[in-house]
Each structure stands twice: as C-alpha cells, then as structure tokens.
Amino acid sequence: MTVTEWPKPSPGPAGVESARPGEAGTGTPRNRRVVWKFGGTSVGDADRLRAVARRLVSARRQGMQVVAVLSAMGGTTDELVRQAYGLSAEPQPRELDALLCVGEITSCALAAIAVHELGERAVSLTGSQAGILTDESHGNARLRQISPERIIEALDEGAIVLVAGFQGVSGTGDVTTLGRGGSDATAIALASVLGARECDIFTDVPGVFTADPRVVSNARKLTAVSHEEMLQLADAGARVMQTRAVELAAAHDIDIHVRSSFSSDPGTWIRRQPSSLEGERVSGIAHIGHDPLYSVSCRSPAMVSVAMAERGLAIGLIVHGEGNVRFTAPGVGSAQVVAAMAAMDIEVSVRADLGSVSVVSAMVVNRSDVAATVLSALETSGIHPQLIACMPNRVSCHVPAGDVGRAAQVLHDAFQLDADEERSSREAHLECAA
C-alpha cells in the first residue's frame, strides 16, 4: 500500500508521549519519542558530526527516545554522481542507486561512533535495515511501507537510532533512492509510523523566510506557515523543504519544525492552521533562477503529458493555444525533456533564458488584488513576464532569467513582507493557541 494509504498513527506505545507543542503533557520530555532530520551541511565534517552527536545525547539523557535521519555529508552525493558519470554517459539506474546510498550510510555510522564516544549507545541503520520498503523506480522511488520493529526494539533498549535517509529497498531486495531531498520524506514517514506528532528538520538556515534572504535583502523569518503554503513555496522554488515531504506531513497530520542545527533558537513551524486565515495574507515570494519554457506545435496537451509521464517527469504549467502547447518542467533538465519528446517523435523548442518568480498566498483564487499587484509592480519596474499563471494559492510569472532576483525583491517590497506587523501578531496567536 502507498504511504498516503497508511492509517493515522496511534499515540505511540504506553508511556511514550507524542503530544504537540503546547498540548497537555509536554511539561517534561521524559519518554517522549522524537524524530529529527539533519541535512548535509549539518553533518558536513567531523566537528559538525560531533555537534549533532552532542544534541542527540543531550536529548537522550533528558529521557527522550531519539530517532535521527541523516543526509550524506555535504557534497558527497554530487561527488559520487560525478564519479559515476565519469565512467559512463548513462549509468545503470540500479547501480547508481547502490552507489548513491553510501553517503547517508557513512554519515550514520560516523555519527554513531561520535555518540559512543560521548558515552551513549547508538545504532546506525540503512534504509533496508530500518524496514523502509519502496517501489522499484530507481532514482525516484516511492515509499510503500515502513516496518519499524527494529527501530522500536533499539529505542526500547535505550539506544539512539540513526537512520540513513534518501533510501529504501524494493520488493525484489534492491537498494532504491527517493530522489534529491528524499531524506526529508524519510523523516516525515518515520514520524508517522512511530506515532510522533512532529518532526524537527535541522538545516543550515534558521527557518522559512518570506523570500530567499540571499536574494531579497529584507526577507523575514516566519514563525508559522500552513502545510499548503509551504507546499506552494516549495513547488515554486523555495528549497528549504522538499515538496514530497510536506505532502506526507499534511496527509498524516505531522507538524514540521524547520530550524538551524547551529543554535537552539526556535525556527518555523509548518502545521495545519485554522481555515479563517484563508485569503488574509501573502505568505512569501519564491523563485527559480532557471526555469525554461518549452513549446511544441500541432500536438495536444495530452500527448505532451504522456511523453513526460513515460520518463517519470513532471510537468509544471501547461498552456494550450492555437496549434501550440507551451509548458514548464521545474527541476527537470532540458536534455531530459527533449529526450522525452523525441521518444514520441515530438519536436520541441526551448526558451532557456527564463526563470520564474511566484507570490504565494493562503487563497489567491479569491483575491484578484494579488495578481493585480504582481503585474503592476513588475510593469513599473520594467520587468515583462513571458508567461503568467494564476492558481489557487499562487501567482507565478516567467521572466527573463537576469531579472529573477530583482523581480523577487520588487514583489517582496510590493507586498511589504518585511514589515507586516498584523501578520506577525496572527502568527504569534497561532503559536500560543496551537
């Protein structure tokens, strides 16, 4: 069965607390089961691995049952990919998965060694050993089932459990990987089956911002956003969370706390929010620096979609005009799109000089003023969109790639996202009421 078909998690075994922040019973962390995920930067070298180990040991000594999902050390996966393609222009997907899973396994083993050095017991598990079953789609496998008995047994014995993210095992026993960012999905799925109500994602940024602070100088950290808002931000280019992981969290009612691994400060909570907020705010600006626009002639949208689906590639926007279909494929390489079309004998032209910028709102469909503000602000700044899409929660514009950063700043300023005190008050109220 698929991950979205899993039953709702139980509160956990007797004596194990899994209450949400602010709920009754969270006055003490004793026996509380936590699921944490640490990204590649967080485990990037020996010193950072030791820092992660200290955080895990501290939680364990407070009485928590600790499960940590680790990514590969920063740059490891890219280096493994480079080596593979240095030997073959088209590595076999099965062998590529067998190679790429090594990075996360290494991180877990090293972290376990660091934990033991601090006087606590840790158990490192591969995806297969952790009971993570997937389909057989190498390179972008889908989660099917998790059998956490071995994890629970280790927790009950007092061990810290370290699970290699990004990977699982197919029904035929082959190692599979979940695609880039798959460690987030691993952590959320484990939180669900282990009865946890929340999952902390430790990364190199302090939380989710109103825009990428590397591009927008006055971007502001958010206290809380809804699952739906985060889905839209991630889909539109915000890289702090993987879209698939947020979908899992929404389906299984898991709160996500995105926070820095380099401090103890609170980050951003991603959780369900009251529907009364719908239509009341613009959440943030997301962008994709390189987001090509593809065009085919004399073909139907259905044929284009089938051609992409045959290669397991997702389409973003698709627009059908007279004798012309234009579409986007965020996160997919242009060569992959061209190859997919060629397999169906479809000629495609590529506008490779474009990027995209999006405004995410709780409910754009009921707020025509959002689209009007977007278009007016861009026009005033001399930025001319090549494609505009208004969706329920989002307005996206394809603009020249050289204008993407400026467009993000212009829209952030247009919606005054750096000084929305009313919005901050609403978020504070949510934090207290949650």
pLDDT tens digits, one per residue of 289-319:
999 999 998 788 899 999 999 887 888 889 8
- 265 falls within a domain: yes
427 within some domain: no
Instruction: Please identify, among 221, 256, 278, the residue that sits at the C-terminal boundary of a domain.
Output: 278
Shared domain check, 165 and 83: yes
Please tell me the predicted confidence (pLDDT) of residue 25: 37
Query: What is the pLDDT averaged over residues 121-148?
Result: 95
Model confidence over 17-28: pLDDT tens digits?
333 433 333 444
Lowest pLDDT segment from 251-255, 322-326, 427-431: 427-431
> What pLDDT was estimated at residue 102?
96
End of a domain among 243, 259, 278? 278
Q: Does the pLDDT value for residue 275 go beyond 80?
A: no
**Local confidence band at 120 (pLDDT 50, 70, 90 cut-offs):** very high
Task: Note the pLDDT tens digit of each residue in 136-168.
Answer: 999 989 999 999 999 999 999 999 999 999 999
What confidence category does residue 364 fall into, taking pLDDT thresholds of 50, 70 and 90? low
425 found inside a domain:
no
Looking at 278, 299, 323, which one is the last position of a domain? Answer: 278
Contact 330, 258 (CB under 8 A): no
Instruction: Kindly report the CATH number assigned to the domain that includes residue 157.
Output: 3.40.1160.10
pLDDT, tens digit (0-9, with 9 covering 90-100), for 260-272: 999 999 999 999 8
Which neighbouring-strand residues pair with 168? 176
Indicate whether 421 belongs to any domain.
Answer: no
Which range has the worst mean pLDDT, 67-76, 343-352, 385-394, 396-405?
385-394
Give the count of beta carbons closer than 10 Å to the beta carbon of residue 40. 23
Predicted local distance difference test score (pLDDT) of residue 71: 96
Per the structure, the count of domains in the chain is 2
- 186 and 51 within one domain: yes
The answer on 142 and 161 residing in a single domain is yes
Report pLDDT for 123.
98
The answer on 210 and 66 residing in a single domain is yes
Per-residue pLDDT, averaged over 111-130, amounts to: 97
Tens digit of pLDDT for each residue in 369-410? 888 999 999 999 999 999 898 888 889 999 999 999 999 999
Q: Provide, rounded to the nearest whole percent, the portion of the chain with pLDDT above 90.
A: 70
Domain that holds residue 142: 3-22+30-278
CB atoms within 10 A of CB 223: 18
Query: Is there a domain that residue 433 lies in?
Result: no
Please check whether residue 293 lies inside any domain of the structure.
yes
| 167 and 189, same domain (yes or no) | yes
Domain co-membership, 263 together with 224: yes
Mean pLDDT of 68-88: 95
Looking at residue 289, which CATH number applies to its domain? Answer: 3.30.2130.10
Do the Cβ atoms of 220 and 269 come closer than 8 Å? no
For residue 119, pLDDT over 70 is answered with yes
What pLDDT does residue 312 have?
78
Residue 15 pLDDT class (50, 70, 90 cuts): very low
- The answer to whether residues 264 and 294 belong to one domain is no
pLDDT at 420: 55
Stated pTM of the model: 0.84
Confidence of residue 175 (pLDDT cuts 50, 70, 90): very high
Mean residue pLDDT across the chain: 87
Has residue 288 got a pLDDT over 90?
yes
431 confidence band (pLDDT: 50, 70, 90):
very low
Residue 70 lies in a domain: yes
What's the pLDDT at 427? 47
Q: Are residues 255 and 356 in the same domain?
A: no
The whole-number average pLDDT for the span 405-425 is 81
- Tell me if 422 is assigned to some domain: no
Q: How far apart are CA 434 and CA 361, in angstroms?
A: 21
My answer on whether 194 and 213 are in the same domain is yes
Percent of the chain predicted with pLDDT > 70: 87
Say yes or no: 234 and 344 in one domain.
Answer: no
> Do 269 and 362 share a structural domain?
no
Mean pLDDT on 112-134:
97
Does the structure show a pLDDT above 60 at 430?
Answer: no
Residues 168 and 79 in one domain: yes
